[in-house]
Amino acid sequence: MNKNFNNFGIIGNKIVKRIKNTINKSINSKNIIKKEPIKKSIPVKKEKPKIQKPIKKEEIKIKEELAELQDDALIISKPTASKETILKWAENLNTNDLFKSWLPIAWEVGLEYGIDPVFIIAQFTLETGYAKFGGVLDASYHNVCGLKNPKGGSDVDANAHMKFSSWEEGITAQVQHLALYADAPKLKGKKIVDPRHFEWIRGTAKTASELSSKWATGPSYGEKINKLCKQIAK
């Protein structure tokens, strides 16, 4: 009996050892398993909404002035219409031959002084009623814009107005007077035929609207020129 009991004890010890070894191997195998690194999520940068800068009062004023200027014809300017456009406008209105003869003169003299030919034509259209005259002056004066002599006088006095020797001289005087108002650089060094070439008016009008109550007494003078400029340049 004692012998068998001892054998059972030996066998039992062996079984216990095997169980322990199995447990230890299992624990070791779990420790050996590599843990995969946890991937960190990269935070997505959110774009900040663009804040529109408020428009300054000065910028608004400049934009308004530019918009207004676009509707106010400049005296000093490159031609705002072609020769063909101007002639087509005159023909569509059935203007007389005298009026049409002024167009090429206005073009050439305008380019010489840097004044927009369209502006020149619009002004003498207004002043002469498309070369029909009908006021205190007639065609014998060759005066296309109502320029007075150096002494001046009443608007209804024909003798107060300048009488030129030709249409070319009359239109040149008109252009020179416009150039003086706008202070055109190309006026310098030219032979002056403008009878009202007074230094105190230099640079006092750059646009059609600025001629109102200066060249003519009417406050809507510039507005009428602007309207004609737009019609010619269509």
Assessment of whether the complete model's pTM goes beyond 0.75: no
Q: Which two tokens stand for residue 97?
A: 């031959």
Count of the separate structural domains present in the chain: 1
CA distance 117 to 2: 141
Q: Is 217 inside a domain boundary?
A: yes
Is 99 part of a structural domain of the chain?
yes
Whether 72 maps to a domain, the answer reads no
Q: Is residue 37 part of a domain?
A: no
Q: Is 205 helix (H, G, I), strand (E, B) or coil?
A: coil
Q: Is 215 a member of any domain?
A: yes
pLDDT at residue number 97: 98
How far apart are the C-alpha atoms of 83 and 75, rounded to whole Å?
A: 18
Does any domain span residue 212?
A: yes
- Write out pLDDT tens, residues 139-170: 999 999 999 999 999 999 999 999 999 999 99
What is the C-alpha separation between 204 and 193, in angstroms, rounded?
A: 20
Residue whose structure tokens are 């380019």: 111
Looking up residue 123, the CATH number of its domain turns out to be 1.10.530.10
* Residue 207 domain flag: yes
CB atoms within 10 A of CB 127: 21
Q: Which long-range contacts (CB under 8 A, 24 or more apart) does 192-196 make?
A: 193/164, 193/169, 194/147, 195/147, 195/148, 195/149, 195/150, 195/162, 196/147, 196/148, 196/150, 196/152
What whole-number distance in Å separates Cα of residue 64 and Cα of residue 58? 10
Phi–psi pair at 212, nearest 5 degrees: -60, 135
pLDDT tens per residue, range 179-218 = 999 999 999 999 999 999 999 999 999 999 999 999 998 8
9: pLDDT strictly greater than 80 = no
Q: Residue type for 213, please?
A: S
pLDDT at 51: 58
Domain coverage including residue 225: 78-232
- The pLDDT assigned to 2 comes to 47
The answer to whether the beta carbons of residues 148 and 195 sit under 8 Å apart is yes
pLDDT at residue number 63 = 47
**Higher local confidence (pLDDT), 213 or 27:** 213
- Does residue 213 lie within any of the structural domains? yes
